[in-house]
C-alpha cells in the first residue's frame, strides 16, 4: 500500500510572531521556518506503517514556494521514499490546496493519506477534511491511534469529551493529533541519503487547478495587550486581591 503524506513549511513554533507595522500581515522576513509540527507526526506515522510492513512506499507532498523543498528533504531523511513539490508563490488557501492534493491523489492512488490536523500559522484545520470531500474518501480527523486491518482502517479520534473510534473504508484520509506519536530526529547519514532521493516539481497549471481567491485578508493586528499584572507576596494577599479587588471568588 502506498501512503501519501503532506508537509507544510511554516514559521518555527518557538518563534514569537510580529505583526507588520502597516497591519497587512505578520512579518515573516528572516524568520526561522520549519516543518509544521502536526506534519512531523504525519510523517512519523507513515514511516512506522512502513516499518510495520503495512506501507510499501511513502510519497511526501508539499505545496508552496521553492524553499518548501527543505521540508520535503526533511521528510525524505525521516524515511519517505520520494517527494513532490507543487510549486507556487501565490497564497494558496485551504480549498485550493485540497484541490491540488486531490489531483496528486488521483495520480498516485494511495491507500492512505496522512496529514496534520492543522497548520500552526493559519490555524485553519480544514485541508484534510476538504481533501476527503473532494476525493469522496472517509476521514479520520484528530487521530491519536491508527490501525490498518485489511481494507479498513480504525482511527481513534480525540474529541471534546474523550476519545471516539471510527472504522473507515480505504482509501481514507487521516489527520494527526499531537498524541499520535513522538516524531524521530533525522540522522546525519539519512540527511545525506535524502539528497539523492527523487523529488518532482509540478505547478498548479500542470495539475490543471486554477488558483482562486475565496477570501481577502483585510488586516492583521496584534491581539489586545493585557494590562501588566502585579506580583503578590503571599497566598493571603492573593486571596484578598481575588476577593476584594478582582471580585472573582
Partner 1 sequence: MAILIIAEHDNQSLKAATLNAVTAATQIGGEIHVLVAGSGCQAAADAAASVAGVDKVLLADNAAYEHQLAENLSQLVAELGRDYSHVVAPATTTGKNVMPRVAALLDVAQVSDIIRVDSEDTFARPIYAGNAIATVKSLDAIKVITVRGTAFEAAATEGGSAAVEAVAAAHDAGISSFVGEEVAKSDRPELTAASVIISGGRGMGNGENFALLESVADKLGAAVGASRAAVDAGFVPNDMQVGQTGKIVAPDLYIAVGISGAIQHLAGMKDSKVIVAINKDEEAPIFSVADYGLVADLFEAVPELDGKL
Residues 94-153, interacting with partner 1 (CB under 8 A): 94-95, 98, 117-118, 120-134, 136-139, 141-142, 144
Q: How many CB atoms lie within 10 A of CB 5?
A: 30
Helix (H, G, I), strand (E, B) or coil at 64: strand
Query: Which stretches of 52-126 are DSSP H helices?
Result: 69-78, 94-108
Considering the complex, state which of residue 196 and residue 231 has its C-beta at the smaller distance from partner 1: 231
Per CB under 8 A, does 80 bind partner 1?
Answer: no
Q: Which stretch binds partner 1 (CB under 8 A): 1-9, 42-50, 77-85, 214-222?
A: 214-222
Beta bridge partners of 181: none
Length of the chain: 249
Kindly identify the residues of this chain, within the stretch 152-211, that bind partner 1 according to CB under 8 A. 154, 157-169, 177-179
User: Which residue, 77 or 102, is less far from partner 1 as judged by CB?
Assistant: 102
Phi, psi of 140 (to 5 degrees): -115, 90
Q: How far is the CB of 10 from partner 1 (least distance, A)?
A: 9
Q: What does the CA dihedral 19, 25, 26, 27 come to, rounded to 10 degrees?
A: -100
Nearest to partner 1 of 18, 195 (CB atom): 18
Rounded Cα distance between 166 and 140, Å, is 7
Span 23-62, contacts to partner 1 by CB under 8 A:
26
Of the candidates 87, 109, 83, which has an alpha carbon nearest to the alpha carbon of residue 200?
83
Q: Do residues 175 and 39 lie in contact, with contact meaning Cβ atoms separated by under 8 Å? A: no
Q: Closest by alpha carbon to 173, among 37, 42, 75?
A: 42
- How near is the Cβ of 192 to partner 1 at its closest, in Å? 32
What are 83's three cell numbers? 517527494
CB of 249 to partner 1, least distance (A): 6
Cell 513539490 belongs to which residue? 85
In the complex, what is the shortest distance from the CB of residue 31 to partner 1, in angstroms, rounded to a whole number?
11
Among 109, 208, 231, 244, binds partner 1 (CB under 8 A): 231
CB of 20 or CB of 193, closer to partner 1: 20
Q: Retrieve residue 67's grid coordinates.
A: 524553499
Of residues 81-100, those binding partner 1 (CB under 8 A): 93-95, 98
If the CB atoms of residues 124 and 187 are measured against partner 1, the closer one turns out to be 124
Stretch that binds partner 1, among 55-63, 64-72, 78-86, 233-241 (CB under 8 A): 233-241
Amino acid at each position: 500500500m502506498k501512503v501519501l503524506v503532506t508537509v507544510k513549511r511554516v514559521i518555527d513554533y518557538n518563534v514569537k510572531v510580529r505583526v507588520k507595522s502597516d497591519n497587512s500581515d505578520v512579518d515573516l522576513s528572516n524568520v526561522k521556518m520549519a516543518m509544521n509540527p502536526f506534519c512531523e507526526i504525519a510523517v512519523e506515522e507513515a514511516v512506522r506503517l512502513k516499518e510495520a510492513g503495512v506501507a510499501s512506499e511513502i510519497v511526501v507532498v508539499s505545496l508552496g514556494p521553492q524553499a518548501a523543498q527543505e521540508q520535503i528533504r526533511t521528510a525524505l531523511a525521516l524515511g519517505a521514499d520520494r517527494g513532490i513539490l507543487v510549486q507556487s508563490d501565490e497564497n494558496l488557501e485551504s480549498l485550493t490546496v485540497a484541490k491540488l492534493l486531490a489531483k496528486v491523489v488521483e495520480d498516485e492512488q494511495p491507500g492512505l493519506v496522512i496529514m496534520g490536523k492543522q497548520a500552526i500559522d493559519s490555524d485553519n484545520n480544514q485541508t484534510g477534511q476538504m481533501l476527503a470531500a473532494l476525493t469522496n474518501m472517509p476521514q479520520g480527523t484528530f487521530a491519536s491511534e491508527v490501525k490498518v486491518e485489511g481494507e479498513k482502517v480504525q482511527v481513534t479520534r480525540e474529541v471534546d469529551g474523550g476519545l471516539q473510534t471510527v472504522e473507515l473504508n480505504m482509501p481514507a484520509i487521516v489527520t494527526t493529533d499531537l498524541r499520535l506519536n513522538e516524531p524521530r530526529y533525522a540522522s546525519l547519514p539519512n540527511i545525506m541519503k535524502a539528497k539523492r532521493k527523487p523529488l518532482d516539481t509540478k505547478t498548479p497549471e500542470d495539475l490543471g487547478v486554477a488558483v482562486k481567491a475565496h477570501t481577502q485578508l483585510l488586516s492583521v493586528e496584534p491581539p489586545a495587550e493585557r494590562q501588566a499584572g502585579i506580583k503578590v507576596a503571599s497566598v493571603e494577599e492573593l486571596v484578598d486581591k481575588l476577593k476584594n479587588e478582582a471580585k472573582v471568588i
